[in-house]
Structure 1
């Protein structure tokens, strides 16, 4: 029998954006709405990918978002509603180790009680 997901598990989510302005606007919204505790905006990314049967190369900006398992679906839905891409990249991974006080801070910042 498998283990059940822990809604308090802290996750690191990734999202690429077409430019810094879009990335910063998304980051601010996600933090303001308690969907992420912190979002790092990393410009200078080059992405090579297949889209509509073509290989594309684009400069992008990477978002690193810290949230909880309980907020991952809402975070992805909000990104989907605001993102200019037809299919925005949103990938989430559980954080299995980290500074306990930092992980607690992420949980506090993303708790549903803030809504």
Structure 2
């Protein structure tokens, strides 16, 4: 029995083509489903907000952040250490080292969030400001909605 090397080579190429086609199909299917999911989700601008709170130190920042998330006032709080704040207070220019909280929440929760911060913050006048989120990664924004109830 003689081996037909041309036929064996053609068979190898055919098998390799089939395997690569199946792999490409799986990859493209996954990418396509993810792209469709992101494109099909709609977002109403302003539904969510990023709020900012300054704290005197890490201990206060962590306590506030944990309380905010536990009380479902936000989905996530980022703690940014060692910022320098320059501000006017009681007629004098002050400069302090602080910690900044960046808080992601529903816009409808900003008032309750501000009340929680005022009640639990050591500053006489606690900073609580928020900015409306116009756009973002749809799955991330959905996660905020799923985590923070109305």
Q: What is the aligned counterpart of 2:52 among 1, 7, 14?
A: 14
Q: Which residue of 2 aligns with 1:32?
A: 70
Taking the aligned partners of 1:35 and 1:97, their CA distance within structure 2 comes to 20
Does residue 44 in structure 1 map to residue 82 in structure 2? yes
Does residue 83 in structure 1 map to residue 105 in structure 2? no
Q: Any unmatched runs of 5+ in structure 1?
A: 1-5
Q: Which has the higher contact order (CA 8 A, sep 6+)?
A: 1
Q: Which residue of 2 aligns with 1:102?
A: 140
Q: Any unmatched runs of 5+ in structure 2?
A: 1-43
CA shift for structure 1 position 45: 0.2
Q: Which has the higher helix share?
A: 2
Runs of 4+ with >3 A deviation? none
Taking the aligned partners of 1:88 and 1:107, their CA distance within structure 2 comes to 26
Q: What is the RMSD computed on CA atoms of the aligned residues?
A: 1.1
Q: Give the structure-1-normalised TM-score.
A: 0.89
Taking the aligned partners of 2:70 and 2:119, their CA distance within structure 1 comes to 16
